[in-house]
Amino acid sequence: MTKNLEIATLGGGCFWCTEAIFQRVEGVESVVSGYAGDTEETANYQQVCSGMTKHAEVVQVAFDPEVITYEEVLEIFFATHDPTTPNRQGNDVGPQYRSVIFYHNEEQRQIAQKVKEGVAPQIWDAPIVTEISPLDEFFGGEAYHQNYYNNVGVRNPYCSFVITPKVNKFKKKFADKLKK
């Protein structure tokens, strides 16, 4: 039997961090790191990291809406990155690290706006700066960026000091949403 999966495209800073979180969510079938917000010609790590493109580092999350809803995906998104700092997540600075939801249809846009206005302010004291924009096109990232945290983990200091605490926070806060 084929599942009817939905897709969420989310930018919450470094795509390694966001990917690591959503790979652990029950109902998520796949997570692909990549870029959205600009052209194919500028969709590569070197150009995006320069901060001179309009791309954001994003993940595309394919999920089973019978297991986890889009609204629940967005609740996890808002709880696991800082949506109050424009163009920044921790030490990662630049427009490529902005908080952004690229919606795929009008229903997703409406849900994203509802969660941004209703749920996110319950988590964060400062104003929410998350951009909500239509997805024009998603460009998958380079192969070495895929499944990065699971493949590299503690061998990379960035993973140890930045991603591991985020994953641990997610596991504690969303224990009921963890893959079995």
Q: Which residues form the catalytic set? A: 14
CA distance 97 to 87: 5
* Tokens coding 8: 């969420």
* Tokens coding 134: 């239509």
C-beta of residue 105 within 8 angstroms of C-beta of residue 27: no
Output the CA angle 8-95-122, nearest 5 degrees.
Answer: 55
- Span between the terminal Cα atoms of the chain, in Å: 21
C-beta of residue 62 within 8 angstroms of C-beta of residue 6: yes
C-beta of residue 33 within 8 angstroms of C-beta of residue 57: yes
Beta-bridge partners for 57: 35
Which strand (E) or helix (H) includes residue 139?
strand 138-140
Closest CA to 123 of 65, 84, 73: 84
